[in-house]
Amino acid sequence: MELEKEILKLIENNSQLTAKNLAIMLDESEEKINFIIKQLEQDKVILGYNTIINWEKVDGEGVTAMIDVKVIPQREVGFNSIAERIYRFPEVRSVNLMSGTYDLSVVVFGENMKDVANFVSQKLSTLEHVQSTVTHFILKTYKKDGYLFDEPEEDKRLVVSP
């Protein structure tokens, strides 16, 4: 379990680490590392390998919105059933159950604002048990998943130190 956690911590920060390097770093065999990673993938502990991209630098297209959703919980299933209906829409990037003034926080990505507006008015708010929605468009991303978007910390060291 400890080794699994060590592997997860390392590849969470850098999914490009090779099994060979992980093996050297953790004093284990490459075969064992490969085996554990496969196992973690099968058990859905590792769900995927994403790349964090600053799309604004590439084309600036696309709009992301965070939508606060109030829902009426249902008997026996609470919020799960409605959350499941919401997260199955392909436009939806993430869904979280929240404490506080609203129930679900839904992150939606669309090609443009009209796309997102259509999704909210036609698909999301018309769902049974959805009481209200408040849509916040993301204007600029400064930091995501621990990475700074605008000001990456450059290596400011001299090439050879004195």
40 binds another protein (CB under 8 A): no
158 binds another protein (CB under 8 A): yes
Q: How many residues bind another protein (CB under 8 A)?
A: 17
Q: Which is nearer to another protein, 21 or 125 (CB)?
A: 21
**Least distance in Å: CB of 36 to another protein?**
17
Per-residue binding string, another protein, 16-35, x by CB under 8 A, is: xx---x--xx-x--------
76 touching another protein, by CB under 8 A: no
Query: Binding to another protein by residue 10, rule CB under 8 A?
Result: yes
* Helix spans in 14-161 (H): 19-25, 30-42, 80-87, 113-118
Q: Which H or E run includes 133?
A: strand 130-137
Question: Contacts from 110-113 at CB under 8 Å and sequence distance 24+?
Answer: 110/62, 110/63, 110/65, 111/61, 111/62, 111/63, 112/61, 112/62, 112/63, 113/63, 113/137
Site stretch for another protein (CB under 8 A), options 59-67, 72-80, 84-92, 152-160: 152-160
Cα angle at 128 between 124 and 131, to 5 degrees? 70
14 binds another protein (CB under 8 A): yes
Amino acid (one-letter) located at 132: S
Choose one: 12-20, 35-43, 94-102, 117-125; the region binding another protein (CB under 8 A): 12-20
Count Cβ atoms below 10 Å from residue 116 Cβ, excluding itself.
22
Amino acid, single-letter form, for residue 69: V
Q: Which residues bind another protein (CB under 8 A)?
A: 10, 14, 16-17, 21, 24-25, 27, 153, 155-162
